[in-house]
Structure 1
Amino acid sequence: MNCRNKRYIIDLASPSEAKEILKIYESGDFTGKISVLYTRRPDPIKSLRQEGEKVVIPILKDQTNGKICGMGCCVIRKAYLNGEIKNTGYLTGLKILPEYRKKLLPITDVYNFLYEQTKNEVDIYYTTILKENMAVQKMLEKKRKNMPEYLYQGDYTVFCFRTGRKVFKTNNYLLQRGQREGLLQFFKKQEKQYQFSPQITTMYKNFKQDVFTLSDPQGNILAACLVWNQQDYKQYLITEYKGIYKILQRMPTKLWGYPPLPKKNAPANYACVSTLYVKNDDPNLARYFIEKVAEYSRQYDFLMLGLFESHPLKTIFKQIKHLKYQSRLYLVSWDNKQYNLNHRPINLEVSLL
């Protein structure tokens, strides 16, 4: 697609362009007291395709040198909205090479291209923006001509907590690892109660995770989740520690109940807790279950679990030591489209962001 600025063209990414796209991914990191490089090695195109039924990746090319200078992405996947399976479009990977960030780029053309490529397949668009990324928030929250509207919904918190700590109490519950009878039925019953819950049958088919369940003495499932190791295609690297974290990185934080801080410039050894469901949203039961899952996940330095501000289980981390970071959730609307989500709480998976 030609742009109004004739210097640039927009096209869909091809597998042969994976190395250039990875360069864009790694051209900037999230800076703060802990500077994090979020990347998708070795192949960002294959990585993104792991997380949806279809992935649309528009790229912006500079025709004067043939260089890919910017990109975006829409991950299309099935999830529950108002109790029904719909196609959701998660907007991510909007990135620009540093040397082009002060140039007048045809960003509106990229958005329009992405919308035209996906509008017949997506029922609702959404995205998340790191809370500290004020510049991007300011740019996108302001209503602009030829741009979609970003509708702020609330804050999303990712909790990082340690593994391997022994939990001595049993409460007469039985923790099991692996598949078991009735598990899929439990997931299907629970997932309909939330907005944006991914269809569990799709995740079962496509991904390899540890499955954990908690049952009562009669064998009834009370809680279940997946622990998903994505390190082979999605990584977090700490590039710098500042302030108090510069001191803490050399301290035995695990002895104090916190996760160990990853070594600089090495991929973090983590896994994500996904599709966490607890019967009746019991916070005490949820806390016990999460602590037991962490106990049996000692092959990782820490686990990550994301919860939206209205999620009924968010209070469990008042009693679990953790580090955290926050993002803002937006619905993204073209042509003034109205999204009518009902009272169900939002359940975003950190493993799919």
Structure 2
Amino acid sequence: MSNVFSFATSEDGAGILKIMESDIARGEIRLLYTRRPNPYDSFMKESDKSVVGIFKRDGEIVGTIAGIPRNSHVAGDEHNTCYVTNMKRLHDLKSRINWIEAFEKMYDPLDSSVYFCSVVKENTDVLKMLKKERPKLPYAVDMDGYRTYIISPTALVRNTCADLKFRRATEADSADILAFLKTWGGAKSLFPVIDSLGGENVPEAKDFYILHRDGNIKALGALWDRSDTKQYVVEEYSGKVALLRAFNPLISRLGYVRIPPEGTQIKFAFLSFFLAEEYKCDYYRAFLHHIRSEISGAYDMFVLGTNDHNEKREVLDEVRSLKFDTQLCEVVMENFRGAKRVNFDYTNIEVECALL
């Protein structure tokens, strides 16, 4: 019997979760990224246009793929962009998955101009498969590297702008926050179009923090707890990280992440929509310096990510953290369905970690 494609429902959540949790990010730690308790429901919360596809064989789910469309800024215009994720097969599956059939069936309901995905860099077989060009079929090209940082609230970050003030936002700041996001996020490709705060896909105004001078915003970001839909679970440590675990109290005082036990879920918030005026590194550093005290007590650590060519990379690489790398790719569809390709600068993108 062949593998049969269908659109998933909430009842398929357990089978999707089984496949999702077979893939572990490798780096200084083996980190499991998951969407418990039900990945299907989690994907549906990401966008009102989300589409989840599955392949079944003899009634068992053997392959999964999800597309999450969002209205995003791309090269100065607004476009539907689709994040393609959870493109995975059952680990011991002997037969092939017809991914082209999945793209064919999902293409019209996803209705997007730009498709992109993120792949753990160690998954070289997956990257090789995605990048193979075939006539009239979709293929992937590298956009940029992406690094995810797990940072302790005790991390040492110097305040490079002592003259600036820092505070938690209120509802009264909503218009200024939205204007700042549009100006500095909107100048980057793949940053979502944000017209209002709150709901499933954007933090509320009270979740944002503002670095300002005389009321003028210089940097902002939100502490966004998304543990109800996506989680990181520590699977295993190796090398120097395993050694450091024995010195947890000491390394915490030195600014390193206090390493949680293996098999436990990390208690964290994303630092989301983190932007600075003119992308100034000093503003990013000053914001990070202040935000640490807001995290301490509520969370063990905070998580954020940035692509290799983003200005934040210089600042974040200075901070003691656990980190892992993935590869961002554009899935080129023009040879597949004749779609007109939207060209944009791969070095000028802003991809939000909490939306991956």
SS at match of 2:126: helix
Q: Cα offset for 1:133?
A: 1.5
**Misfit runs of 4+, over 4 Å:** 164-170
Q: 1:242 to 1:79 in 2, by over 3 A?
A: same
Partner of residue 215 from structure 1, selected from 209, 212, 216? 212
Q: Cα offset for 1:45?
A: 1.2
Tell me the distance in 1 between the aligned counterparts of 2:197 and 2:40.
Answer: 19
Is 1:264 the equivalent of 2:262? yes
Using structure 1 for the length normalisation, give the TM-score. Answer: 0.90
Is 1:292 the equivalent of 2:316? no
Instruction: Report the residue type matching 1:286 in the other structure.
Output: Y
Q: Cα offset for 1:124?
A: 0.6
Query: Which residue does 1:156 correspond to in 2?
Result: 146
CA contact (8 A) 1:89 1:124 kept: yes
Q: Cα offset for 1:318?
A: 3.9
Query: Which residue does 2:311 correspond to in 1?
Result: 312
Query: Over residues 68-92 of structure 1, what are the superposed CA-to-partner deviations in whole Å (9 max), with x where a residue is unaligned?
Result: 1111010011111112221110000
Instruction: Report the residue type matching 1:29 in the other structure.
Output: I
Tell me the distance in 2 between the aligned counterparts of 1:33 and 1:321.
Answer: 13
Tell me the distance in 2 between the aligned counterparts of 1:106 and 1:343.
Answer: 29
Q: 1:37 to 1:319 in 2, by over 3 A?
A: closer
Tell me the distance in 2 between the aligned counterparts of 1:149 and 1:343.
Answer: 16
Identity of matched residues, %: 27
Query: Which residue does 1:3 correspond to in 2?
Result: none
Tell me the distance in 1 between the aligned counterparts of 2:79 and 2:148.
Answer: 25
Partner of residue 199 from structure 1, selected from 193, 199, 208? 193
Q: 1:226 to 1:193 in 2, by over 3 A?
A: same
Q: Cα offset for 1:346?
A: 0.5
Q: How many residues are treated as equivalent by the alignment?
A: 342
Tell me the distance in 2 between the aligned counterparts of 1:304 and 1:35.
Answer: 16
**Superposition map of 1:220-299 within 5 A:** 220-252=216-248, 253-298=251-296, 299=298
Query: Over residues 298-339 of structure 1, what are the superposed CA-to-partner deviations in whole Å (9 max), with x where a residue is unaligned?
Result: 121211121112212221124322222111111111233533
Moved more, 278-287 or 139-148: 139-148
Q: Cα offset for 1:94?
A: 0.8
Query: Which residue does 2:78 correspond to in 1?
Result: 85
SS at match of 2:116: strand
Q: Cα offset for 1:37?
A: 1.6
Q: Cα offset for 1:103?
A: 2.1
Q: 1:313 to 1:104 in 2, by over 3 A?
A: closer
Tell me the distance in 1 between the aligned counterparts of 2:278 and 2:246.
Answer: 41
Moved more, 221-230 or 162-171: 162-171
Query: Which residue does 2:121 correspond to in 1?
Result: 131
Instruction: Report the residue type matching 2:274 in the other structure.
Output: L
Instruction: Report the residue type matching 1:332 in the other structure.
Output: V
Instruction: Report the residue type matching 1:204 in the other structure.
Output: G
Instruction: Report the residue type matching 2:10 in the other structure.
Output: P
Instruction: Report the residue type matching 1:152 in the other structure.
Output: D
Q: 1:57 to 1:246 in 2, by over 3 A?
A: same
Is 1:26 the equivalent of 2:25? no
Query: Over residues 223-242 of structure 1, what are the superposed CA-to-partner deviations in whole Å (9 max), with x where a residue is unaligned?
Result: 11111111121111111112
Q: Which runs of 5+ in 2 are unaligned?
A: none
Q: 1:237 to 1:72 in 2, by over 3 A?
A: same
Query: Which residue does 1:104 correspond to in 2?
Result: 96
CA contact (8 A) 2:81 2:115 kept: yes
SS at match of 1:264: coil
Tell me the distance in 2 between the aligned counterparts of 1:248 and 1:165.
Answer: 16
Partner of residue 176 from structure 1, selected from 132, 142, 167? 167
**Superposition map of 1:107-126 within 5 A:** 107-118=99-110, 121-126=111-116
SS at match of 2:12: helix
SS at match of 1:7: coil
CA contact (8 A) 2:80 2:113 kept: yes
Moved more, 9-18 or 318-327: 318-327
Q: 1:87 to 1:168 in 2, by over 3 A?
A: closer
Moved more, 123-132 or 175-184: 175-184
Tell me the distance in 2 between the aligned counterparts of 1:319 and 1:188.
Answer: 28
Tell me the distance in 1 between the aligned counterparts of 2:262 and 2:228.
Answer: 18
Q: Cα offset for 1:24?
A: 1.9
Moved more, 53-62 or 159-168: 159-168
CA contact (8 A) 2:25 2:324 kept: no
Tell me the distance in 2 between the aligned counterparts of 1:183 and 1:71.
Answer: 37
> RMSD between aligned alpha carbons?
2.2
Query: Which residue does 2:322 correspond to in 1?
Result: 323
SS at match of 1:30: coil
